[in-house]
Amino acid sequence: MVETQVPLSARLHLFCLLWIAAFVSIFFWQRNSLSGPSDFGLHRRAATVGLSQFPRLRPRSFDLTEFGAAGDGITVNTGAFERAVARIAGVGWRGGGGQLNVPPGRWLTGPFNLTSHMTLFLAEGAEILGIQDQRYWPLMPPLPSYGYGREHPGPRYGSLIHGQNLRDVVITGHNGTINGQGQSWWKKHREKLLNNTRGPLIQIMWSSDIIISNITLRDSPFWTLHPYDCRNMTIKKLTILAPTFDAPNTDGIDPDSCEDVVIEDCYISVGDDAVAIKSGWDQYGIAYGRPSRNILIRNLVVRSMVSAGISIGSEMSGGVINVTVDSVVVWDSRRAVRIKTAPGRGGYIKDIRYRNVVFDNVRVGILIKTDYNEHPDEGFDLTAVPTIEDITFSGIHGQGVRVPVRIHGSKEIPIRNVTFRDMSVGLTYKKKRVFQCAFVQGRVTGTIFPTPCENLDLYDEQGRLVKRSASNNTTDIDDDF
């Protein structure tokens, strides 16, 4: 057999280019946003803080302090936020909606709801702080597609900033922060002192035309940003942070049964998946039946030391279709890109493209796992097997990867029509089996590194068949790492 090796220099070259491209673009907006519009410059910004602090984005705007808020980090401002939102609801669509300006300061609050046609604007130096006392957090019914809180049966805590059945909502600013102060929640969760599932930092449900941009989200009690059954959503220029260890379930962004979503230009480093596309859990998700579809994820730098950079699943019972992951760097992570599911989920994962993805120091690069057996209750149907098909990987590069590919299909859940093209991943050390497969059918176009598993058909660059696979179901999985 011919050992197919992309020359090391070519690999390094490409790898460096991609890293540089990703960082240049992310840092460019960071710098850009710091220096503001070029015709104003820095000192105008300093001289006229009052003006430049709050660009006028709606015809009516209000300052949080008008509603009696105090940014001292001690006063509980839930009432002020609620009064402000009620005022904006009163302006309504005919009035063009309203903007709520949050000035620099530390604005402690309990959970509150947003309204339609509203812009929440966080000045530079503004920080909304989630109150840690769980008695301020209202309980809400479980999400219909989960049937359960997620960690506990029954009701779940709502999110710090919540919205449902809304249209035209913007959360933005000059990189102000929404801080969930999740530490006390993580501790109580570890000590098993909670009877209900923790709340997300921001949860928007059954809503459309949503923009969340140019702010920092940190230390969420649970998932950070959770769009649920929403349409037309743009999430961009976010910095999402949580400790990389001991911040359980602090996923970055979890689009869940959502349609037409763009996630771009974000830096995410959290205690669980950076992005996880979902669509409900087992029989509840199948009954609810809303897929996540038309999702574009591009230009992100992400890190997840305990989980994965970009995940699909494991809750995917409503289906996931038409997802593009483009120009993403995953660094210092356990898994880079992952699809996870299990018998009982039902649904499908289909038409998924990964291109220009860089892995830098990750244990497993590409992981597909079909035995993620975590179920809401005993009521799931084992014969409801998901289908996984039409998945393309192109322009996959990186270094410091232990297992570049592990596609673990099974007899019940075979993986169909996977395509690899233009891949070169530098290994941490050469184990014998670094491209692991089981029950997968698909093709490789051109030469890739490492040498693909024998389950895949080989084609040359011109698309001519070179060698057909002898068997789809050869199993060569080694679950170390």
Ligand X SMILES: *[C@@H]1O[C@H](CO)[C@@H](O)[C@H](O)[C@H]1NC(C)=O
- Output the CA torsion 74→171→338→187 (10° steps): 10
Closer residue to ligand X (CB): 354 or 380:
354
Residue 195, helix vs strand vs coil: coil
Closest approach of Cβ 258 to ligand X, in Å? 12
**The two structure tokens encoding residue 153:** 């049966």
Closest approach of Cβ 110 to ligand X, in Å? 7
Residue labelled with tokens 């709502």: 158
Give the residue, chosen from 333, 441, 445, 447, that forms a contact with ligand X under the rule CB under 6 A.
441
- In whole angstroms, give the CA distance from residue 331 to residue 223: 20
Neighbours of 225 (CB within 10 A): 28
**398, exposed or middle or buried, with CB in 10 Å at 0-12, 13-18, 19+?**
buried
Task: Give the amino acid at 267.
Answer: Y
Task: Give the amino acid at 262.
Answer: V
Give the residue, chosen from 14, 36, 70, 428, that forms a contact with ligand X under the rule CB under 6 A.
36
Give the residue, chosen from 54, 67, 107, 112, that forms a contact with ligand X under the rule CB under 6 A.
112
Q: Residue 394 interacts with ligand X (CB under 6 A)?
A: no
Closer residue to ligand X (CB): 105 or 426:
105
Residue labelled with tokens 């503004």: 126
Q: What is the secondary structure of 309-370 as a DSSP string?
A: EEEEES--TT-EEEEEEEEEEEEEEEEEEEEE--TT--SEEEEEEEEEEEEEEEEEEEEEES
- In whole angstroms, give the CA distance from residue 367 to residue 308: 9
Catalytic annotation, residues:
272
Residue labelled with tokens 């089996």: 433
- In whole angstroms, give the CA distance from residue 202 to residue 209: 16
Site string for ligand X, 43-82 (x = CB under 6 A): ----------------------------------------
Instruction: Evaluate whether 221 touches 186 at the Cβ level (below 8 Å).
Output: yes
Give the residue, chosen from 4, 25, 65, 164, that forms a contact with ligand X under the rule CB under 6 A.
164
Q: Residue 175 interacts with ligand X (CB under 6 A)?
A: yes
Q: Residue 296 interacts with ligand X (CB under 6 A)?
A: yes
Give the residue, chosen from 4, 25, 30, 244, that forms a contact with ligand X under the rule CB under 6 A.
30
**The two structure tokens encoding residue 22:** 């990703």
Q: Residue 259 interacts with ligand X (CB under 6 A)?
A: no
Residue 430, helix vs strand vs coil: coil
Which of 254, 346, 264, 263 lies closest to 308, judged by CA? 254
Give the residue, chosen from 106, 117, 174, 421, that forms a contact with ligand X under the rule CB under 6 A.
174
Q: Segment contacting ligand X (CB under 6 A): 11-19, 27-35, 374-382, 393-401? A: 27-35
Closer residue to ligand X (CB): 428 or 475:
475
Closer residue to ligand X (CB): 7 or 73:
73
Give the residue, chosen from 4, 25, 65, 113, that forms a contact with ligand X under the rule CB under 6 A.
113
Closer residue to ligand X (CB): 83 or 162:
162
**346, exposed or middle or buried, with CB in 10 Å at 0-12, 13-18, 19+?**
buried
Q: Residue 162 interacts with ligand X (CB under 6 A)?
A: yes
Segment 453 to 472, residues that bind ligand X, using CB under 6 A: 471-472
Radius of gyration for the alpha carbons in the chain, expressed in angstroms and rounded = 23
Which of 228, 119, 124, 242 lies closest to 179, judged by CA? 242
- In whole angstroms, give the CA distance from residue 249 to residue 272: 5
Closer residue to ligand X (CB): 166 or 362:
166
Q: Segment contacting ligand X (CB under 6 A): 277-285, 326-334, 411-419, 428-436? A: 411-419
Q: Residue 244 interacts with ligand X (CB under 6 A)?
A: no
Q: Residue 473 interacts with ligand X (CB under 6 A)?
A: yes
Closer residue to ligand X (CB): 7 or 90:
90
- In whole angstroms, give the CA distance from residue 181 to residue 183: 6
Instruction: Evaluate whether 392 touches 349 at the Cβ level (below 8 Å).
Output: no
Give the residue, chosen from 34, 51, 86, 465, that forms a contact with ligand X under the rule CB under 6 A.
34
Closer residue to ligand X (CB): 268 or 401:
268
Closest approach of Cβ 426 to ligand X, in Å? 26
Segment 317 to 336, residues that bind ligand X, using CB under 6 A: 322, 324
**The two structure tokens encoding residue 445:** 């176009």
Q: Segment contacting ligand X (CB under 6 A): 59-67, 83-91, 172-180, 301-309? A: 172-180
- In whole angstroms, give the CA distance from residue 481 to residue 11: 24
- For ligand X, how many residues bind (rule: CB under 6 A)? 40
Q: Segment contacting ligand X (CB under 6 A): 94-102, 168-176, 243-251, 370-378? A: 168-176
Residues 6+ apart with CB under 8 A from 48: none
Give the residue, chosen from 71, 111, 344, 446, that forms a contact with ligand X under the rule CB under 6 A.
111
Closest approach of Cβ 89 to ligand X, in Å? 12
Segment 184 to 223, residues that bind ligand X, using CB under 6 A: 193-195, 209, 211, 214, 216
**The two structure tokens encoding residue 161:** 């900033």
Q: Residues interacting with ligand X, by CB under 6 A?
A: 30, 33-34, 36, 111-113, 124, 138, 140, 158, 162, 164, 168, 172, 174-175, 193-195, 209, 211, 214, 216, 232, 239, 294, 296, 322, 324, 390, 392, 411, 416-417, 419, 441, 471-473
